[in-house]
Amino acid sequence: MPRFSTKMRQRMDIMYLTAQSLYFNAFSSSSLCLETAMQPVFLLVDNVVRRLGPVFVVLVIGLTTTVVMIFYVYILPFVFLCGMHWVLFHLVFGHYLLMNIIFHYYKGVTTSPGKPPEGNLKNIGITSVCKKCLSPKPPRTHHCSVCNKCVLKMDHHCPWLNNCVGHYNHRYFLQFCVFMWIGTVYVSISVWPLFYEEFFGTPGAVYQPKEHSNSNGLYEGDVVKYVSLYGQTFHSCILLEFFLCSGVVVALGALTMWHVRLITRGETSIEAHINRSETKRLKKLGLVYKNPYDFGPLENWRKFLGLGDNRVFWRHVIFPSSHLPLGDGLKWLKAQNNCFITYDKPYVLSQQ
């Protein structure tokens, strides 16, 4: 009887091991199981984003055009009442922002982020094989499930661009965010006096200049009630302008600050997740993980903006520029070959 029970137990163990061998391996984890279970949801989201991508682009163009038209029709006439020097400031600064917004958005939408070339890649530092494309992946390359291709130095897929953000258009994406944020701050401040009167005061009131000016040379305005020729349209447009731009200021400001933080640390959005996981994993082993692509804040920004080789900040960043990023996105210099150190010892361990 004991021998029979032992054999039964052995057979049960063999059956259990055989069943596990069908789906279990050394790389299995709870996160992998969750990712596998959520694949139908991910597939649905990818298809929705892929189909709605052009709609998002049209929405960005439409909302931007609306804000600009309201500024021309309703805000600029108010600016003319404040003096010619303010008119010149708004015309120059406003069109400078608009020029940069249009340029960087167009380049972000139309520029390919870059993908690994086909053919022999043995001279490129291949780090892994893409499980979707079943092709070699250079360092910092990741697969985009929306575009269904591998992207060089992929940061994320942006539905507002209907494009992946990667090696060749990452700078365009960030500069679009920065100039768009500055533009919405500028419009929110400019429309505030009109918004205050329309929302908190008497709808249809405008500022009329007096015959004298203050010590700063700016006209002091009196609120004069009158029957507006614009009527309800003027009221609605002023409210729309302020609420739309102030909402973008908050949302886009948070997104821009997040990306500024990542670039300062020399990592992409995907790498931030990977680095965080590696930090936790190595911490359990008594090691400290260090990002191998972090050259320090100033050098990280120089590399990201593509400065060097006679490229200067004021010409290639302050003004629109189509210069290419540094490198080809296939090979990457590392700040150090060893990417983790021990907690209790000040030397760098050899990377395996």
Active site amino acids: 158
Helix (H, G, I), strand (E, B) or coil at 141: coil
| Rounded CA separation 287/119 (Å) | 38
Alpha carbon 138 to its chain centroid, in Å, reads 22
Pair 172, 316: CB distance under 8 Å? no
Closest residue by Cα to residue 109 from 33, 69, 163: 163
How are the residues of the chain apportioned to helix, strand and coil, as percentages rounded to the nearest 5?
A: 55, 10, 35
Alpha carbon 199 to its chain centroid, in Å, reads 33
Closest residue by Cα to residue 244 from 175, 203, 191: 191
Pair 131, 124: CB distance under 8 Å? no
Q: What sign for the dihedral angle of Cα 71, 73, 74, 75?
A: positive
Closest residue by Cα to residue 70 from 197, 196, 264, 242: 242
